[in-house]
Amino acid sequence: MLDDRDRKILALLQINASTPVGEIAERVALSISACSRRIARLESQGYILRRVAVLDREVMGVPTIVFALIKTTRHAEEWVESFRKAIADIPEVVEAHRLTGNYDYLLKILLPRAEHYDLVYKAIIRKVELFDMSASISMEVMKADTGMPVGHAR
């Protein structure tokens, strides 16, 4: 069971996972060793899956975000697995979600420019059959947070 200190530690690590343990300990009013033990426990219990570096899209040369909405007439497990493998091989596809509603899948694609979308589109349809794939280009990122709310954690 998490307490308020655990939640605060998780929130601080989400902001910057490389924050020194001493600084985190001070902010949650714990000794360094007690804070270190809590972080280790949070990792072992699966609250912290991994620590990553968040890269700048502009500096990395992929400033364009495209959201692709996909419809398919095939929902068999074999097709889904083929689709999963097809998008896994495309590094520009950074997120993929199976949806309820009018569309079956949503892809978040990072590109050097909008014209590059056609290469991603062709790479997908070479490997799996789709009913429809339409895309929208993000005009402005209004919120992009890598963290998640910690208040609901048990």
The predicted-structure confidence for 4-23, as pLDDT tens digits, reads as follows: 999 999 999 999 999 999 99
Report the 10 Å Cβ neighbour count for 147. Answer: 10
Q: Which amino acid is at 16?
A: N
Residue 140 has pLDDT above 90, yes or no: yes
Question: Domain residues for 127?
Answer: 57-137
CA distance 73 to 1: 43
| Alpha helices per DSSP H over the chain | 4-15, 21-27, 32-44, 57-60, 77-88, 117-125
Q: Comparing 5 with 154, which gets the higher pLDDT?
A: 5
What's the confidence (pLDDT) of residue 154?
87
Residues 97 and 122 in one domain: yes
Based on the domain organization, do 64 and 94 belong to the same domain? yes
CATH code of the domain containing 29: 1.10.10.10
39 lies in the same domain as 63: no
Q: Are residues 63 and 127 in the same domain?
A: yes
Quickly state the pLDDT bin for 133 (edges 50, 70, 90): very high
Which position has the higher pLDDT, 147 or 107?
107
Q: Quick one: 61 and 132 in the same domain?
A: yes
d(CA 24, CA 70): 43
pLDDT tens figures, 29-52: 999 999 999 999 999 999 999 999
Q: Is residue 62 part of a domain?
A: yes
The residue whose two tokens read 């809590």 is 38
